[in-house]
Amino acid sequence: MTESLRVTVDRQEGVAVIHTEGYINNQGGEEIARVAYQLIDEQSKVLLLNLAGTKIVNSIGISILIEIIEKMIEIDGRLGFCNLTQTIAKTFEIMGLAQYAKIYPDEAQALADLRSAT
């Protein structure tokens, strides 16, 4: 089980995909935020967070993800999540993240939808 978060970025056509592997906690969330804000600075306005390698997100991690969502709203960008475990999907639903960021079952569907809107 990987606990410290690893983040990789895959720049697809029109969409920057952030892959995570590990625990999205304070440190993990900050790392995602650092990468996301850097992408925003580089003019990326459509981000996809692929959480296939993440089994667990705590409340600090969620609050940081909410900040990223707020930032995306500020810049009039789009943010999506895909490949969530059942527990994480339910957590996002309860915490209201699903109202502001779309949740997709997999990366292919996410890319197709996010690209169509750009």
Distance between CA atoms of 94 and 59, rounded to whole angstroms?
Answer: 12
Q: Is residue 106 involved in binding another protein (CB under 8 A)?
A: no
* Dist CA 85 CA 52 (whole Å): 8
**Pattern 86-105, binding to another protein, x per CB under 8 A?**
-x--xx--xxx---------
Query: For residue 51, what are the contacts with CB-CB under 8 A and spacing of at least 6?
Result: 20, 24, 57, 81, 82, 83, 84, 85, 88
Contact region with another protein (CB under 8 A), list: 10-18, 22-30, 34-42, 43-51:
22-30
| Residue of 73, 108, 112, 117 that binds another protein (CB under 8 A) | 73
* By CB under 8 A, residue 41 contacts another protein: no
